[in-house]
Every structure is written in C-alpha cells, then in structure tokens.
A and B are shown apart, each in its own frame.
Chain A
C-alpha cells in the first residue's frame, strides 16, 4: 500500500460517510466539551463585575454612542500626545542639534578632519539620526503607553466590533479592523497580523489596505503640519485642540479610504462574499499601569526608534551627498527637484516634497527634515549649509516654508493627504512580499495608494485653484 492508496481509501470512506461527516465530528466534540464543562463548574451567584462589564459594553458598542466614544478616545490620545511632546521635543532638539552638534564640529576641527568627511558623518548621518530621535521619541513615549493601556483594558476588540458592520458592508472581513489597529502602530506589523483572517481573498484585501492606517513614521509629519499650519490658524486657546482634530480627521479619512478600497477590490479583482466569523469580546481587565509603561517604552518605543535610526543614518549620508555633489549647474538634489517640480506643483505640492518621499522610502520619519533641508539650500538661504538637516522652532519652520518654499495652506493639507496616500515604506513592502509571495500583489500594494494619492491631491489642488483659495 502506498500513500496514494491511503488517500484512495480515505476518499472512498468519505464518500460512504456522506457530507455531514464534518458536522458530526464537530457535534461530538461540542457534546463532550459541554458535558465535561457542566460537570466541572459550579456557580455561586451572579457577580457585580459581570453586570459592570455588560453595562460598559452596551455603551461602548452602541451603534451611535460607540462611535462618539471612539472619536473622543482617539482625539484625547492625540491631544495628549501633541501637547505633551512639545516641550521634551524642543529640549531634545536643543541638546542634540545644538550642543552636541557644535561639540562634534569642534572635535572634527580639532582633529583637522577633511570637510567632506565631517560633512557626511556630522551634517549627514548624525543630523538625520538626531532629528529622528528628537522628533519621534517624545510622541512615541506618550502615544504607545496610552494606546497600550487602551489595549490592555480590552477596548480594541470593541472598536473592531463597532467597525465590523462597515467592513462587512465593504465585502471585507471584520477582523480587518483589528489588523488596521495594528497598522496604526506599524504597517509591517499590521500586515503580519492579517494572518488571523482565514479566507485568502479577504486577507489580501486586508494586506492591500493596511497602508491606509497611519503608522508611527507618519504621525510626526501630520502633527507638525497640523500644528504650524492648521492649529496656528485657530485662536491660541484652541490651537492644540484644532491641531489634534486635524490629525484625527486624516486618520478617519484613512479608515474611510480603506473601506472604499476594500469595497472596490471585493467588487472587482477580489470578488466574493464576506465570510462569517466570531469575534470574542474579552473581559475588561484593569490595566497594569507600571508594567504597561515599562513594556511599551522599553520594548515598543525603543524597538521602533531603533528601526528609524537605522534607516535615518544611511539616508542622512545620501541626502548630504546628493546636495553636495554638483553636476553642471546644480547639485544632484537640485536636478531632481527641478525635474519633479512641475508634477509637484500640479498636485498642490512641490518638487522638494516629491524628492523627500523618494529619499524617505526606507523610513517616512525623515520626510520633514529632508524637506526643510532642501528648501533652505535650494532657496539659497545662509541658514543652512548644503545638506544639513535643521531643527527649527515651529514658528521658524513656518517662516521658512512659506517664505522660502512658497508654501500655502493647500501645500500643508495636501502634504497631510499625501502622507496618508502614498506607497508603503520598504520594510512594509518586504513584509507584504513575504506574506503573499507574490510580486504582482506587492506591486499593486505600492502603486494603488500612490495612484490614489496623485488623484486626491490633484483634485484638491485643482478645486482650490478654481475657487481661488490657493
């Protein structure tokens, strides 16, 4: 007898048993489980906690109130992150980009290091790394623990429950909302998390749309734009609330885009009905605050920061070199900017922003420093030597961008939209390839959001120009 004989025997027996075999097996398992459980458990009256859990669930998963609470909860998290990280961010910037930067240059001068070497290492590698640390560490050290506390408490499955109906209507799997939640931390992690989805069709939809959850690398861009362009246009008392609201708005737009794209995919390339699944609402558990603080700061924050630094260091060298190596009448960066400028302006952005997005493929964290540096050098300002990424006060940043870069409110809004709608970072793309083993789908996952980004920014730019807003 060979393996295929065994399979033949199995097929024959299966035919004899009929189609209800699986149901009978499940029934046998369930009957046994229920008998054993009944015999082993005794109840001693109802408890307060259960009723408390139920009352809380009724509010948090209420069709209307549930969404209100959800909005308030996320608004609160971002507001705390924005207001809380301002001061530590500027303190870190003063230290790393002021004191330490000067000290390093003095050291280089004392060692009489050649200018190109100190340029690449200090103005390129060190500045990029220091900028990423000072801009990312404080918000992450606030955002991660807050998010983890919500997670520990058991709130995330309730969010998934609320969003479930929307995802089902879009022809996607309800568990996609959980993988999106992961994506708000890191899209690569979100893509791996789609393994919880059984059906390959729905899993692919979840993978392709995970990028519409804004990840850590993109929060800093949104927060800065929201603060200096949108928050600043409101009365000072409301500034940080308006800034937080603008960031939440972009995040919500991201969820809506994910739903719309899921719907489109499930009606075209990935046709099919949503599969049924059960979502467990775990009991609320009092969060273990100290433990959460420890694990989310040490494990989560530092791991993400480390990744960003590893990406920023080589990118810093690349930026410095491209701004300092001249071909013909301009630096390499200058040529690229000139080439992309017409397209950028058409999209309500500019060439510098597009170049920054090319440089930042490995890590979105370095978008803002790259933009500032290029704006200053190409704008001919004495403030920045070629290739030096600068940390400026918020007000100065605003001045530089509007006066030297010619930015308007439209540029800021479109940058926020483009930050949401563009190709995933290289780590995420690699993860998508590893999970799908398909070059085609990996390519789709890169080009689809990019095409959306071009369409949306082009539309807002055209509308704004038509109505004379920009």
Chain B
C-alpha cells in the first residue's frame, strides 16, 4: 500500500535513496542540494540505511569515492549542484568511462560568475556530453519515482552507465508537494540488490582504468555510445515494470495535448508543468497547443520526439541554460537536429532562453510564447529564432 506524504524535491530524493538499499553514499553539501545530503547522513547515522557515508572534502573527491565504491559492485549514490558539479567534471567522464552505474541527484543551479544560488540548468548542460544518462523531473513525485527507476536502469548489464536525476534548484528542491511513496518492501521487490558483472576484489586483482592508447581508446568510447543506445529500451522496460508496480506511467518523454496540436512548447523540468497549466487554459479558448517534456534528455529521445511532434507546425523550445556562441541552445539544438534527421526540417522552430539565475517564468510569459508559436504556425514566418524571456535589454 502506498502512502501519501508531503516532501520537498530534496526530501523526496533522499527518501527514495533510503529505500533503494544503497551501499555507499559519498557527497558534499551545496545549496540548493544541501538537505538531500543532510538527510542521507542522518539516515546512515540513525541506522535507517545500512550504508557507508563517506565524508569528503570536495565534490571531486565525492565522485572519486563513488567510482571506487561502484567498481567493487556496490550500489552508490551521490548528489550535487552548480559549482559542485563543475568541480566533478573530470570525474564525470571517469565514472561513465569506467561504466560505473552511479545514481546522482542534482538540484540544478546557475554557475558563477556572478555568484548565484538559484535554479537554472547551466550546471548539467555544462556536463551534457559526459556520457551520463540524464533525467529531468517536473515535480517531487517524479524525482522520487525516477531515483528508484534510475538504479535499475543504470545497473542493468546492457547499460552500466551513471545517471543523473535533475530537479530545478529551489523551485523543486525546496517546495513541498504531495508525494505517494512506496512501502520499503515494494521498493525491494522492484529493485533487487545489484548484480555486478565484473568487480574489483583484492582476492582476485584486475586492472581497471589503465592507459589506453590510440589502439584501443576509440573502441572504448564506441562501446559507451552503444551502451547509451541500448539504454533506450532498458529505460522503457523499467518504466513499464514501474508502472505495473505503481500505476504511474513514465517514458522517455511526456506529451500533453499533442494529438491534434498545431504548436508545442518543448521544455525540461518544472517549467513543463507551468506550460501544461497554460496549455489547458488556451485549449479552453480553442487554441490547439500542446507540451512535450523530455523526461530523459540523455540519451536524447529523438524518435519519440518526432512522433510526439506529429503534425505540429511550430515549436517553441525552452532552454534554461546558455550555450554561448552556439546557433541554438542545448535542448533546441537537439530538437532541430532530430527534425533534420527525420526529414521534418520544414517544422518551424524558435528557441527561448529563460529563467537564468532563477528568474521566474510566469504563466503570462508562457502564454505569450504559445501565442507567438501560433502566429508562426499561421504565417510560416519565424521573426526571431532566439529570444530571451523576461530579461532587461
């Protein structure tokens, strides 16, 4: 039997990790993720989880400890944000390159300078190409659900890659919402202990992470690409399995009112929720608008995205991070590339950068974006391909 409790995004992630029978947690507190780490250290101290909590002096060390622990076959969790993720950058590639199925909670936050503690996606987008799977949650329930699914996805021997579960800093990390949590036994049934393929063991020494020169390095990277490709189906399998346990349906992406939509907003995370609320209002005014929310950003769900776009004529792609100097920002670049690859480059696209450093995006902002998309669909003309929402110019 599930029970309903009020949890913030940070609390929901810590609660899920507690139920996932982790062996090792190594993490360093940083706003707005701090509560996640505080709660987990408390659970370990109280004996509520039988795990080793490694107190480290930095995020670089946190992920280093996680890599070592994961290679022994342990189930491993870490969490970070912003500068902490940036400091981990080197080890992110080591974790994916050594095929460590580490699960990481990220309370997304802007990067310095100037110093800012509020929510945007600069941190994770800055590590976009690090070979990790990346999931973005819309609310605390999704954060809870994806953490539990993430261990199962990452540890599957067809995948063996690390995964980050992202929640918008403050907007989700510090907001309490209704969360339906599973019983501990149900989580144990859904997620049995990890079955590692190869482990490091002093009794039977092996070498991992050794020097790999031009004769083999490329093949190792090719295998990572293969593993990410394999993960599409594993994610879908785990989603179906999770649905049969909980009734809650997940997929690579979520669509809202897309079956006959003329235009859509594509957005990650909590903003997709606000977009749904506005779309519902606009639908009641007879405007055919919809929302596409990639739950999984890496690997990018391009096939599903193309299906979701259907016959829509204009797309507004929202990015909460700046890819300085790029033709489009991260999410929009992927959307445009997917449309091109599937021969749908006639769909009109414009890119809206919003919410940097935690600037709020309001229903009024989103309504204006939808209306602009409707105008683009009607006229076939994109006036501005790149816009900055709610900024003083």
A and B from one complex: no
B interface residues with partner A (beta carbon < 8 Å): none
